[in-house]
Amino acid sequence: MIFKVYHQVNIAEVPIRENTQILYVEGKSVRDVRQKLKQKPFNVEYVEVVEGAYLDYEKQNEDYKVLELG
């Protein structure tokens, strides 16, 4: 499944909505995605499943790229 991850780049700062960035990660569950991102130097705000028509819509975005994590 594909998950949309909302995150802040700087883990030391308070989250500010205008600084929220998005990345897409493939995983089995929200917990699996959070485990994969645990070592990354950013603050994960929210993780949501992207499927069906929503996934098709997201794929149209020029910034759509799935992050490959092991």
* Paired sense of beta strands 2-8 and 66-67, if any: unpaired
Collapse the DSSP code of 11 into the 3-class scheme (helix H, G, I; strand E, B; otherwise coil) and give the result: coil
Q: How many domains does the chain have?
A: 1
Are 6 and 20 in contact by the 8 Å Cβ rule? The answer is yes
Q: What tens digit of pLDDT does each residue of 7-25 get? A: 999 888 888 889 999 999 9
Q: What is the pTM of this model?
A: 0.88
Q: Which CATH number fits the domain that encloses residue 25?
A: 3.10.20.730
Q: What is the pLDDT of residue 65?
A: 93
Q: What tens digit of pLDDT does each residue of 31-42 get? A: 999 999 998 888
Q: What is the pLDDT of residue 14?
A: 85
Q: What tens digit of pLDDT does each residue of 37-63 get? A: 998 888 999 999 999 999 999 999 888
